[in-house]
Structure formats: C-alpha cells, structure tokens
Homo-oligomer: A and B are copies of this chain.
Amino acid sequence: MVAVSADHRFDLGRFPLASGQVLEGAQLSYRVLGCPTATADNLVLYPSSYGAWPEDIDWVVGPILDPARWCVVLVSQFGNGRSSSPSNGGGWWGCGRWPVTHADNVRAQRRLLEEVFGVEAPALIYGWSMGAQQGYHWAVLEPDRCRRLLALCGTARTTPHNRLFLLSLRQALTADPAWNGERFEGEPLRGLRAFACIYASWAASQAHYRGLSLEAGGWSDLEDHVERAWLPLYRRHDPHDLLAMIDTWWASDVAMASGCGGDLAAALGRVSAAVTVMAGSHDLYFLPDDCAAEAALINGARFELLPLTLGHRAGNPRDDPALQLRIRAALEALLDRSC
C-alpha cells in the first residue's frame, strides 16, 4: 500500500490563459504519492487524463512508479472537476468553447512545481492519453524543464479523426433536452447515455468486444454493459466539465501552442527531453501510426507498440500485471538514457 496524502489545493489566483481570457481564483488540485528527497530530484509529474480523478489513476504508483524511489505529483488537469472547472467556479463560456488549453495546464503545473516543491525540472513526466498530451506540451513549451517523458497512447497534436470523435461526443451530449444552447438545465441523462455509448465504442477496440460474448443477447445485454461499465464514468461528472475537457483535448496542438504556426516538425524539433512513446496496437483514436509519426519527429525518441486488443485503454492497465511490467521496463530504459 502506498501512503496517500489528502489532496492539496494550490491557489493560482487570477490566472491569465493563453487565449487572453482569465480564470479568476484559479486552483490546481494535486495528490502526492511518495516522499521527495532533500533536493526533490525524484519528483515525477503525472497529469490526469480525460475524466480521471486521482483515485482512478493513482494505482500507477506501485506497479509502475515505485513510491520508495519516486515522489509522484498527480495533478488534476483543469476542467476535471477538481482543479478549476466549470463546475467549481472556473467559468463557463456558454455557446463558445472552454478556452483552457494544455499550454495553460503546463504553465499552472510549472508554478506548482516551483512554488510548492522548489523544482524547476521534474525527473520524469508520465502521462496517458490527455496526460501524454500535457507531457508533449511540457516537452515542446518548456524544453529546459522537461528531462524525460513517457507518453502513453497520446499525440502532441489532436488528429482530424480524433476531433471527429470528440465532436460526436459533444453533439450527442448537447442533443439532450437539458441543453438550452448555452448550458445544461438538469442532468442530460439521454445525452449521457449516447455519450457513454460513443465512448465505449471508441475507447476499447472492435476485437475487445469480439471477446466479450455479448453477441448472443439482444439489445438489452449491450445496453446493460454500457450502463454498468461506461455510463457511471461520465455521469459522475458535471456535464459542463465533460464538455470543457473535450474542448481542451480538441485544441491540443503543440505546433500551434509553441508559435510554430502549425509546423509540427518544427515544434517537436524543439524537444530536448529523452522521450519514449508507447501506443496501443488497437487504439482507435490515438492511432499507433500517428504516435509513431510524431515520435519520428523527436530527436532520439523511442517508439514501442503495445500489442493489445483492449484499444486505447491499453495505456492504463490497472488490471494487467504483465502490461504494467512492460511499461515499467520501458520506464527503466528511459531512465537509463542520458538527458
């Protein structure tokens, strides 16, 4: 068992966003697992993925990140309902888009590490999915402060098809009668059911469902599966937060955030960190091809394919010790590289 501190709150005050807009009274919620050394040279930054709360993803500390060695700072990204989010006073932009980008997450996290831990450059950034996106933004926007990055099942720029998936989630949720064109009035349960179903169909792979033995049943078996295994993951969130995180994901693009005018090669060419990119063979929205193509643009980056039918979720193997070992091995190899 890992000793878990209570979650902490880091107040950012009036926080200007890259867009020019402002988050008033901004704050980051974070969890610390393990202890920092005297020089805090064992600090690992672990930004959260879509819809994740710390308790969903802190299992990584133990199987993958040894808490006797590392001090893991698990930071909630803006929009997840713990750090500043529409649901907790973090603002709402009605019919527009949530303006927070990963550049904003990175700037806030940088302040957290400096002001709370006295650390400029963490030993490692570990991220899955939207966590990997944040890691890429660190590597491009703060090359001197990002020494090592393990990017699991994520891309530095959200691809057009990935955006189409996100658009379908957004359209489905806002198709609900509770959506008034600017916000939700009540729980959008019909929209949430569609949302969960779309998510279920993309986040695991076709091959995963082939193995689930749902085919003998009627509609109700599959509906029950989505209702039990997927809907609760999203229903627990304020629906405005679900949209906010979608908007951040959509806008994720190191080539725009870095002022490289959309030139992805130029942006990734700035990276000086040692980087290992891992992708799931059956990931349907962070495709292995896209992950590998980005890795090829990063000096010295290594790419590894995880051949698993689980799809995108392969990068978060809570219940798969063999896969945990594999990621841990990739991590050890990354740590052995000079940087």
Contact = CB atoms under 8 A, between A and B. Distances in A.
Interface of A: 97, 157, 159-165, 167-168, 171-172, 174-177, 179, 188, 190-191, 193-194, 197-198, 200-201, 205-210, 212, 214-216, 219, 222-223, 226, 250, 262, 284-285, 287, 289-290
Given A164-B200, A175-B175, A222-B167, A157 B194 contact: no
Nearest to A176: B175
A209 B161 contact: yes
A318 to B, nearest CB: 22
Chain copies in the assembly?
2
B171 A197 contact: yes
Highest count of chain B CB atoms <10 Å: which of A97, A216, A222: A222
Contacts of A157: 215
A198 B169 CA distance: 8
A90 B324 CA distance: 55
Given A209-B159, A209-B161, A219 B250 contact: yes
A157 B237 CA distance: 36
A185 B160 CA distance: 34
A61 B290 CA distance: 39
